[in-house]
Amino acid sequence: MSSTGFTSPFGANANPFGAPRIDVGPMHRVAEEDESENVASPTTHAFGQGPAAEGLTFQHTFGGDAASSQLEHSGPRSPPYLDTYPAQYNFARRTSVSAESLKPTSETYDNWVPPFSPKTPEQLERLKKAISGNFLFKHLEEEQSSQILGALVEKRIPAKDIKVITQGDTGDFFYVVEKGSFDIYVNSKSALQPGPDGMGNKVDTISAGGSFGELALMYNAPRAATVISAEPGCILWVLDRVTFRRILMESTFQRRRMYENFLDTVPLFSTLTPYEKSKIADALESKKYPPGHAIISEGEPGNSFFLLEAGEAVAQKHGVETPVKHYKPGDFFGELALLNDAPRAASIIATTEVKVAMLGKSAFQRLIGPLEGILRRERYVGIKSGVEDTDPLHVPKA
């Protein structure tokens, strides 16, 4: 059972984990308590020069009876070399966080629709501006963004000194200031205390266009500050976490399933496992084009594959008057670019506003490996695919 008998096949010096260094020896493990068990710091090169080599002993950390170590460990543990940590680094144990579980509507069948409260175009503009710089909103797709803007609810704070957020309380809402201003107070005891100075020190004031409470959009954590209205007649826009996260989830979930369904219809991918197709669905990037835009240009090198999500497009070839093919949502084109480097054999022109999901050849190869290998899994070449027959982008091999 002992691991000492194992010799690295690469020789002692080639042990990828280095020579065993921090070892108090099997006998010492059951040693008497008064025998010091020297364990050198793994970062000390002096290790191996005997037990006295500036070793940290476990006695200091773990040893002794429970009573004495209880004193040592009350509060966050101080590691050695404290000065070599970045300033303010909190070296204590980190607590896990978790939001409530989120399941898509298709699994829960509760017909959830995002709440909607109407806003004037000016209000919408102000809101958009207020959240545009926020990292939680920056990456949103247009549809998600407009659903979230629609979901924000107005809340009027008529008087001064009304607490909107109380430090230490649970947090479920994010706020955007539409009108007026709010003062932020922090009590060093991490919670509002009774008495006149219970809110602690004023650290900031947030005015129209500002926002606060964004952590509540991620999970329920105790509020880190108290926020009160600094003047009468303030107006806030409010968004709750479940609505926010659910809007993001539902749209992503639906789009992913749609992509997977599309991918199931691509003959070239017929030998991919569902797992591989899911990875492709995950890597697809949405792109929009205006009517008349060439998504693919004839003669140019091909390096992406496209799924048509919304809108319509046509394939056109030089010297041919009428479109050689029409595309509608669910159709795909350009998949041969994943297979070879041949120039595009036709142009694909958007005839309406279109939305495509695209996948680059390199992303495909990173996720799945070279397509040639995939084709070899089964005799794809022999499958009656329809691609060769109908895809004008296909260049027959010489």
Partner 1 sequence: MAATVAPSQSMMSGGGGLHPLQAQGLHAAQRQHQQQQQQKQQQGQNQQPHEDVEPFDVQNRHLTINDFVRVRTLGTGTFARVVLVRPSHGTEAERSKVYALKILRKTEVIKLKQLDHVRHERQILADVSGHPFITSLVASFSDHDFLYLLLDYIPGGELFSYLRKFRRFDEDMARFYAAEIVLVLEYLHEQQGGIAYRDMKPENLLLDADGHIKLVDFGFAKRLGNNDNEHPVETYTLCGTPEYLAPEVIHNKGHTTAVDWWALGILIYEFLTGYPPFWHQNPIEIYKQIVEKPVIFPHDPPISDEAKDIIRQFCTVDRSRRLGNISGGAARVKAHPFFKGVNWEAVANKQYRGPIIPPVRYPGDAQCFDVYPEEDAVKDEYTSEMEQKYDDYFKDF
Residues of each annotated binding site for 3',5'-cyclic AMP? 214, 223, 335, 344
Shortest reach from residue 126's CB to partner 1, in Å: 22
Q: Are the beta carbons of 221 and 151 closer than 8 angstroms?
A: no
Q: Are the beta carbons of 167 and 192 closer than 8 angstroms?
A: yes
Residues paired with residue 186 on neighbouring β-strands, in sequence order: 201
Reduced to 3 states (helix: H, G, I; strand: E, B; else coil), residue 382 is helix
* Residue found under tokens 């497009």: 313
Give 22 or 159: the residue with its C-beta nearer to partner 1. 22
Shortest reach from residue 369's CB to partner 1, in Å: 4
Q: Tell me the angle at which helices 241-264 and 142-151 cross, rounded to the nearest 10 degrees.
A: 150
Give 108 or 390: the residue with its C-beta nearer to partner 1. 108
Give 234 or 307: the residue with its C-beta nearer to partner 1. 307
Q: What is the DSSP letter of 101?
A: P
Give 18 or 118: the residue with its C-beta nearer to partner 1. 18
Shortest reach from residue 335's CB to partner 1, in Å: 17
Give 337 or 345: the residue with its C-beta nearer to partner 1. 337
Give 62 or 116: the residue with its C-beta nearer to partner 1. 62
Structure tokens of 235?
A: 């107006």
Rg of the Cα atoms in the chain = 31
Whole-number Å distance between alpha carbons of 72 and 158: 51
Shortest reach from residue 324's CB to partner 1, in Å: 32
Whole-number Å distance between alpha carbons of 80 and 303: 54
| Nearest in space to 225 (alpha carbons), one of 175, 283, 155, 280 | 175
- Return the C-alpha torsion angle 11, 13, 14, 18, nearest 10: 130
Whole-number Å distance between alpha carbons of 194 and 188: 13
Shortest reach from residue 94's CB to partner 1, in Å: 5
Q: Are the beta carbons of 155 and 212 closer than 8 angstroms?
A: no
Shortest reach from residue 109's CB to partner 1, in Å: 15
